[in-house]
Chain A
């Protein structure tokens, strides 16, 4: 058994833990089980955990995890097409099966609130402020790969909080609809069926909800992330307009007049080559700032400009009169330059 354990520091499941009680005297002491072991944390959490089954979409199975947030049948889970089927089933910790209705969804944060017509044996309190910080141990309880069936306890995985972050500012901004606060964990949760699981602090408080499977566009690896409890609190307690206002402000931005900097990049190298300046338009903001041919643009407003394509995509979004910070490379130096896009002059 022991040689397999290199990987298993971070992952173990409740069934195994019961065996461990017998094998490991440290854990078996009754006072520790009651007052301060992970086993107690996990045991206490199980009655509030549910398995959610919905419609399969193509190869993607309609399976998720969820957890109770009230006595009267409110269940949080992850938003997904599997909730659009004819029927959503929720299986409680005792194995009983209930039909759930979808009360509300948040497509920005990929959350859904379900309701079943039954009393729940146990539920989690949602704190309105984040309760974890980087380095904290967390236990993710999620039904990855549908390992647990019916009344079987859901698998628990141990990890730490890797990073607290914001999705729209930092992560996968181009590929994925998720926006808002999140935290990354180093337990592996990005697997089918795990989304909607509970992320608990070591002492059993609800820290977040296991996110869906997504790939980082920065690294193209899977992210193991969770939506923090304060976001869940806002979602459950009716802060529904947040996402709508966000969308509205974006619409507004699109109506603004787009300006120009007067930079023409070298196009012959293809869209993947760096954004070398080919020509600076006379009298343009870039010309007044002293930019020259052969400068390389590496960043606009903090967004990385890795290629001609990035430059072209970004330049289309800069409104007239709104200052932008441009960083370019000249020789071996990097120069920061503030520029104000000017109105496009029409050709004569």
Chain B
């Protein structure tokens, strides 16, 4: 963490560009919606221009209005019991997923989305407190490990407030973003503001923001300046699929939320209690001479092994998209999940060719169904428990 902050301060010397930036952003965004006619940030002949501080103060009003609007849809989640999945620290976080965490209501009858990070300790009892103050025991239904979210259900509730959503295609890089979470222990959420830094991160699953994202708001909403839901805050790191990967970037200016338009596609599966797993192909790769990547090893029983990929093959493309380095391979695999079919193009030594056509070109296209790491290591500690809540 310290390294990060240090960098930020070093980098601060170039940061002064922001003054002009705020001026530009205000009119198109907060001010236009909430407090003043459009174009006011840039002076016109009739209206006196707002000073920088006046326009900042108007954005504060907008932040509060946005917070107020989404608040009824926030729930506070508590977990009881459970132990640390992994000993030691992850990114400086000593005890992972403890304390109050946040969730977002997505249906009036009690379906709630939150981050899987909040259940990293495999709590045996989970309770949810709605903004109306009702407290219920929650069932953990399905989870999506590629998006780090899971679905909770509480019973005997009706008329819960569902947030309005900002369609993902309308989300613009540079627009305001506000993260909310009750993780500091209050019923009132803490808020943090920032902008949308990028879209289509981590295999197209996440939106990146520089609002503070941390264990205090994982599972909470990232909203726009009107209080509409952009996504659910989650820890993410494009380099790793581990459940806590990304937490080392907490409050660093690199934060992620999974956008809302994806939810509809997966929600039905999560309601069924299904688990969406990251894709695992089962190959070890290294640089090749020329195009592609050389396959240095194939994990037994993996998707690649089942499809007949062998050591020494050169991986040229996945679904016709060329692969030339590890990063590209990971980026492309990130777009898929376990169970999906892909086609891979490989080049094989002529001596190992299986038929004449292949021997002629050395090229081969193979269809394979992606597996998951869990298929191979079913006994990995702490993997099965979160699927089905252990309620006595």
Residues of A within 8 A of B (CB): 1-2, 4-13, 15-20, 23-27, 32, 35-39, 41, 133-137, 144-145, 147, 155, 158-160, 162-165, 170-171, 184, 186, 188, 191, 202-203, 215-224, 272-276, 294, 296, 298, 304-307, 327, 329, 332-334
Contact = CB atoms under 8 A, between A and B. Distances in A.
B111 to A, nearest CB: 16
Nearest to B208: A6
A338 B311 CA distance: 68
A274 B56 CA distance: 47
Nearest to B128: A334
Given A12-B15, A298-B125, A304-B100, 9 more contacts: A2-B17, A8-B8, A9-B15, A41-B53, A134-B64, A186-B191, A223-B184, A275-B80, A306-B98
B79 interface: yes
Nearest to B185: A170
Contacts of A162: 190-192, 212
B98 A188 contact: no
Contacts of B9: 11, 13, 144-145, 147, 155
A222 B1 contact: yes
B103 interface: no
A33 to B, nearest CB: 9
A13 B23 CA distance: 18
Nearest to B195: A9
A272 B82 CA distance: 7
Given A134-B67, A147-B9, A171-B184, A332 B194 contact: no
Interface of B: 1-2, 5-6, 8-9, 11-21, 23, 51-54, 56-57, 59-61, 63-64, 67, 78-83, 93-96, 98-100, 123-125, 127, 135-137, 139, 155, 183-186, 188-195, 197, 210-212, 214-216, 250-254, 391-392
Contact of A16 (B1, B12, B57, B185): B12
A306 B100 CA distance: 11
Nearest to B187: A170
Contact of A37 (B19, B184, B253): B19
A296 B8 CA distance: 46
Contact of B391 (A19, A135, A202, A332): A332
B51 A7 contact: no
A217 B67 CA distance: 25
A260 B52 CA distance: 61
A12 B56 contact: no
Main secondary structure on chain A at its contact with chain B? mixed
A216 B190 CA distance: 13
A332 B389 CA distance: 12
A118 to B, nearest CB: 29
Contacts of A216: 99, 183-185, 216
A135 B53 contact: no
Nearest to B154: A332
A288 B78 CA distance: 28
Given A16-B13, A137-B60, A6 B253 contact: yes
A136 B56 CA distance: 8
29 contacts: A1-B14, A1-B17, A4-B11, A7-B253, A8-B18, A9-B210, A11-B12, A11-B15, A12-B15, A16-B13, A20-B19, A23-B17, A37-B53, A133-B64, A137-B56, A155-B12, A186-B192, A186-B211, A186-B212, A202-B56, A216-B99, A272-B82, A274-B81, A276-B392, A296-B80, A304-B80, A304-B100, A327-B135, A329-B137
A160 B197 contact: no
Given A191-B2, A222-B1, A171 B16 contact: no
Contacts of B1: 222
Chain B CB count within 10 A is highest, among A7, A191, A215, A223, for A7
Given A162-B192, A188-B8, A220-B98, A298 B127 contact: yes
A16 B8 CA distance: 13
Contact of A9 (B61, B78, B135, B194): B194
Contacts of A272: 81-83
